[in-house]
Amino acid sequence: MKQLLSNKMSMLLLTTLGALLLLGACSDEPKEEEAKEEKKEMLAYVRDFDLPNKSLIIDEVEWIEESDTDRIKELGLDTEKDLATGFMIYDESQKAESLKLAEDAEFYLVNQDDTAKPKQVEEKEFVSYLAVVKGPYDITLEDGVVVKVSEKYTP
């Protein structure tokens, strides 16, 4: 009788644990991986600022330095001619893309007094500056939305 009772208790315990595991797996709470925002960095020229839609029209480009020997070979570039300044901005597609701006997007311009410390500006100042300087800009996206635009220093 004790053996039968012990077996029933073991089965009940196993069934309860199994049910708890199953319910835990069905939780609506986001998993840690799902909760993280997808972050992407890119270099681009900003062709336009679409004020009504609060978006940037960009053309993604690639920064190539003399140390990028594999990429230089792949593109058939001449280091002395194509990278005379030590770098080149390569635009493979020249394709425009529209990216939505976050309401709290941050804008940074090269600080002429200290190029190592970009200066943060308001959206309005950035739009005025953009009328003259199209880039390149480092653009940070989170979940496909622009959260930061920072002018890239070019020597």
Please, what is the end-to-end C-alpha distance for the chain in angstroms?
Answer: 88
Residues 6 or more apart from 87 whose CB is under 8 A from it?
63, 64, 65, 66, 154
**Contact present, 71 and 149 (Cβ < 8 Å):** no
| Model confidence, pTM | 0.73
Indicate the domain borders of the chain: 2-28, 33-63+94-151
Q: Is residue 13 pLDDT above 50, yes or no?
A: no
Fold (CATH) for 33-63+94-151 = OB fold (Dihydrolipoamide Acetyltransferase, E2P) (2.40.50)
Model confidence at 109: pLDDT above 90: yes
Asked if pLDDT for residue 7 goes beyond 60, the answer is: no
As given in the structure block, the two tokens for residue 154 are 């070019």
Nearby residues of 102 by Cβ (< 8 Å), 6 or more positions away: 142, 145, 146, 147
**What's the pLDDT band for 155 if we cut at 50, 70, 90?**
confident
Handedness of CA 65, 70, 73, 74 (dihedral sign): negative
Q: Which two tokens stand for residue 52?
A: 């009504």
Q: Is 77 helix (H, G, I), strand (E, B) or coil?
A: coil
Share of the chain above pLDDT 70, in %: 76
Give the C-alpha separation, 49 to 131, whole Å: 9
